[in-house]
Chain A
Amino acid sequence: MNALDFIKKAKKGEINLEDFYSKLFKKLYDIDKKYECFITICEEEAFNQLKNLPNGRLYGLPVSVKDALCTKDVRTTAGSRILSDYKPPFDSTVVARIKAEGGVIIGKTCMDEFGFGGFSTNCAFKVPKNPHDIERSCGGSSGGAGCITAVLDEPHIAIGESTGGSISSPASFCGVCGLTPTYGRVSRYGLIDYANSLDKIGPMAKTVREIALMLNVIAGFDEKDQTTLNENVPNYEKIDNIKGFVIGVPKEYFDGVSDVIAEKVWDAIKKLEDKGCKIKELSLKMTKYALPAYYVTATSEASTNLAKFCGMRYGLELPLEGNFNEYFSKVRAQGFGEEAKRRIILGTYARMSGYRSKYYLQALKVRTLVINDFKKAFKTCDLLAAPTMPVLAPRFDELEKLSPIENYMMDVLTVAPNLAGIPMLSIPCGSIDGLPAGLHLMADHLQEQKLINAGVALHG
Chain B
Amino acid sequence: MPKKGVNENELLHVAEIARLKLSDEEIKLFSKQIGDVIAWFDKLSEVDTKNVKPSMHPLENVNVAREDSVEECLDTKDVFANTNHKEKGFFKGPRIV
Contacts and interface: CB of A to CB of B under 8 A. Distances in A.
Given A184-B61, A344-B20, A323 B95 contact: yes
Contact of A320 (B40, B45, B46, B92): B92
A368 B54 contact: yes
A310 B54 contact: no
A295 B37 CA distance: 9
B78 interface: yes
Nearest to B58: A421
B88 interface: no
A interface secondary structure, majority: helix
A371 B44 contact: no
B53 A368 contact: yes
Contact of B19 (A182, A292, A321, A325): A325
A362 B85 CA distance: 42
A89 B81 contact: yes
Contact of B82 (A87, A307, A322, A332): A87
B59 A229 contact: yes
A296 B41 contact: yes
A323 B34 contact: no
Interface stretch (A161-169, A272-280, A335-343): A335-343
Interface string B5-34: 010000100111111111100100110011
Interface string A339-351: 0011011101110
Nearest to B61: A227
B52 interface: yes
A312 B55 CA distance: 33
Contacts of B66: 223
A287 B95 CA distance: 49
A344 B79 CA distance: 27
B89 interface: no
Contacts of B58: 183, 197-198, 367, 371, 419-422, 445
Given A315-B82, A320-B94, A332 B21 contact: yes
Given A324-B94, A352-B14, A369-B49, A363 B44 contact: yes
A296 B44 contact: yes
Nearest to A372: B52
A342 B26 CA distance: 9
Contact of B44 (A332, A341, A359, A445): A359
Nearest to B65: A226
A350 B75 CA distance: 39
A312 B47 contact: no
Residue from B34, B66, B75 with most neighbouring chain A CB atoms (10 Å): B34
B49 A310 contact: no
A226 B20 CA distance: 31
A364 B56 contact: yes
A329 B36 contact: no
A338 B26 contact: yes
A348 B94 contact: no
A289 interface: yes
Interface residues of A, number: 73
A293 B20 contact: no
A165 to B, nearest CB: 15
B22 A341 contact: yes
Contacts of B33: 342, 403-404
A324 B81 contact: no
Nearest to A419: B58
B69 interface: no
Given A341-B26, A342-B33, A366-B47, A324 B55 contact: no
A329 B19 CA distance: 4
| Residue of B18, B45, B61 with highest tally of chain A CB at under 10 A | B18
Contacts of A338: 26, 29
Given A226-B64, A364-B54, A317 B85 contact: yes
Contacts of B81: 87, 89
Centre residue among A286, A295, A348, A358 by max chain B CB count within 10 A: A348
Nearest to A296: B41
Contacts of A350: 41
Given A226-B64, A332-B20, A333-B20, 15 more contacts: A87-B81, A182-B59, A184-B61, A292-B40, A296-B41, A312-B83, A327-B93, A330-B21, A333-B21, A345-B20, A362-B44, A362-B49, A368-B49, A405-B40, A421-B57
30 contacts: A86-B82, A87-B81, A89-B74, A183-B59, A184-B59, A197-B56, A197-B57, A226-B64, A312-B91, A313-B83, A314-B82, A317-B83, A323-B96, A328-B94, A332-B20, A341-B30, A342-B34, A345-B15, A349-B6, A349-B34, A363-B41, A364-B55, A365-B54, A365-B55, A366-B44, A368-B52, A371-B58, A403-B36, A419-B58, A445-B58
Interface of A: 85-87, 89-90, 182-184, 197-198, 223, 226-227, 229, 286, 289, 292-293, 295-296, 303, 307, 310, 312-315, 317, 320-330, 332-333, 336, 338, 341-342, 344-346, 348-350, 352, 358-359, 361-369, 371, 403-405, 408, 419-422, 445
Interface of B: 6, 11, 14-23, 26, 29-30, 33-34, 36-38, 40-41, 43-47, 49, 52-59, 61, 63-64, 66, 74-75, 78-79, 81-85, 91-97
